[in-house]
Amino acid sequence: MKKCLLTSIFLILMVPIGLAQSLRVKIIASATGEPVPYANISVNATENLVSNGEGYFSLSENNSQDATVILVSYLGFVNQQLTVEQIKKQDLTIKMLPAMYELEDVAISNEKITADQIMATVKANLKTNYQTSEKANKDKIFHRTTQYFDPTKIEVEINKSTGFSKVALDKVNNDIQSYARKLIAHPPVSFTDVLCNYYSVKTKKSDKFVFTSKLDVLKATILKNEGQSTSLEDLEKKGKELMLKHLDTTKFYRFKSGLIGSRDTISFSEEFNRKLNKDTVKTKQLAQAKSDLNRIMSKGNILTNKKLDFIQNPEWYTYTLEGTTFTHKNEYAYVLTFKPRKSKAKFVGKLYVSDGDYAVLRAEYALEDGERLEGLNLKLLFGIKFSVNISKGTMMYTKSSSDDKYYLQYASTEEGGYFYINRPLKLIELAKGEKDVLDLDFKMETTTRTKNEYLNISRTLIDAATVTGFKEKDFKYQTISKYDPKIWQAYNAIEPLQEMKQFKTIN
């Protein structure tokens, strides 16, 4: 009797917990069992999700009820509409069936349409399809940034010093070498997640359009090793700290590299730094988050991002019409592959183009082997060399129901490359005549990469006064030492990849 009573109590306690759990679902191709990345997931026809690069997506607690309706669509596959109850019965796996994918005898003036004709029409319709809406919108957006810093060489050689004692100089050397070894042995990586409401409107004033945007951060986390950074700016700051902690905290200093001097005055004085940060701390996080979000949105802007030249300048590329497929609305879409035709063209990839209005619904692109976006080699003259040789992404666009304009629904981009610096560095005390405190040579060789994921979960039409009247406020990131699914279980977000889930901080 006692055992039955305890079992009953346990089951009663477990019921609400089970109902409140978020769900992790995998999407695979039925024929091969391979994961289907970047599939569209509509939740109760109100919110949009996307499967990650490994084919997984997560449903929040509120969307994990049995009656929730999930519509999964992917160009080239048959749409699947299921309830959460049905997905549970399928062991949280959705199998996608291939859709019709063949060349159609679509005629224009009694002639078969060609890839070049399709792209010419795409270009002619760009402004009609992608011009920024003049209606005010509230977009719920999830944005993930993953940054990698992978140094292969960090060398610091101190030539002379007048500001350090021998003991302090030995300590600086040991600190810098220890920090360098740590960076090379454990290359820094950071994961930043932001869920926000983005308010925007384009209004006309004095015959000119003015774009206004406001950001409301709902939740934000950052996962990285404490004391490590993936940005050159923060690494430079760390190096300065290692040297400055052995100097007189009442004095002021600056760094100089060759003919280039730092304009920033450096001091460990608490009063000086308190005054310096007083006006900037309040809006630092908000301004940075907004800047990062606007940057990824601009990358997905077909009208203004010059890197999307395979859409803007089709005459630079060779296109092949591979066939047709169905969209999530069961309409036709052309499938085209492309590769460079002219030397200025750099990308290869695939486009899905709507048969109705010739809008690009999806773009997959990558730099052709051996190509680079930009580079500079002043290794012998100034000790600097860099090359941006990583640039790839997937962009997905959807049509707004309010004005038939297309907007960016999902983007996954990765950019990076090689960086080399070999420069002399001086630490100067700001006194009469400015005296050198430390002379050293700094050499570093590294590769850097930045991944961005952007998901527009939902778009709501609002009035312009709501945008202009909204008061932005700063926020604080929740710093975490490891990935915890409970943090996001009440929210819709992009399911993390295994590298983020397996990330562990290093003491």
Confidence of residue 228 (pLDDT cuts 50, 70, 90): low
How far is 475 from 222, CA to CA, in rounded Å? 13
Has residue 9 got a pLDDT over 50?
A: no
Has residue 259 got a pLDDT over 50?
A: no
How far is 28 from 39, CA to CA, in rounded Å? 10
Please report the pLDDT score of residue 442 as a whole number: 84
* Residues above pLDDT 90, as percent of the chain: 57
Confidence of residue 447 (pLDDT cuts 50, 70, 90): very high
pTM of this prediction? Answer: 0.85
Please report the pLDDT score of residue 101 as a whole number: 57
Confidence of residue 6 (pLDDT cuts 50, 70, 90): very low
Q: Which two tokens stand for residue 326?
A: 């169905």
* Residue 286, amino acid: L
How high is the mean pLDDT of the chain?
85
Please report the pLDDT score of residue 111 as a whole number: 63
Has residue 454 got a pLDDT over 80?
A: yes
Q: How far is CA 367 from CA 120, 307, 335, 347, 503, in A?
A: 23, 10, 19, 4, 29
Has residue 193 got a pLDDT over 80?
A: yes
- Give, to the nearest 10 degrees, the angle between helix 232-244 and helix 166-185: 150
In the three-class reduction of DSSP (H, G, I as helix; E, B as strand; rest coil), residue 262 is classed as coil
Contact between 153 and 443 (Cβ < 8 Å): yes
Confidence of residue 203 (pLDDT cuts 50, 70, 90): confident
Q: Which two tokens stand for residue 388?
A: 């941006």
Element (H, E) at 120: helix 115-124
Which segment of 16-20, 120-124, 388-392 scores lowest on mean pLDDT?
16-20
Q: Which residue has the tokens 């619904």?
A: 361
Structural domains present in the chain: 2-96 (2.60.40.1120), 128-496 (no CATH)
Please report the pLDDT score of residue 144 as a whole number: 97
Please report the pLDDT score of residue 445 as a whole number: 93
Has residue 48 got a pLDDT over 50?
A: yes
Please report the pLDDT score of residue 505 as a whole number: 72
Q: For 280-295, what is each residue's pLDDT tens digit?
A: 544 578 999 999 999 9
* Residue 78, amino acid: V
Which segment of 221-225, 233-237, 473-477 scores lowest on mean pLDDT?
233-237
Q: What is the DSSP track for 28-66?
A: EETTT--B-TT-EEEETTTEEEE--TTSEEEE-GGG-ST
Max distance between CA atoms of the chain, in angstroms, equals 91
How far is 223 from 482, CA to CA, in rounded Å? 7
Contact between 454 and 427 (Cβ < 8 Å): no
Residue 318 burial (10 A CB sphere; 0-12, 13-18, 19+): middle
The residue-averaged pLDDT of 23-51 equals 94
Q: For 320-343, what is each residue's pLDDT tens digit?
A: 999 988 887 778 899 999 999 999
CA angle (460 as vertex; 192, 470 as ends), nearest 5: 70
Confidence of residue 154 (pLDDT cuts 50, 70, 90): confident
How far is 483 from 189, CA to CA, in rounded Å? 13
Which segment of 158-162, 172-176, 254-258, 451-455 scores lowest on mean pLDDT?
254-258
Please report the pLDDT score of residue 441 as a whole number: 84
Q: What is the DSSP track for 434-452?
A: -EEEEEEEEEEEEEEEEEE
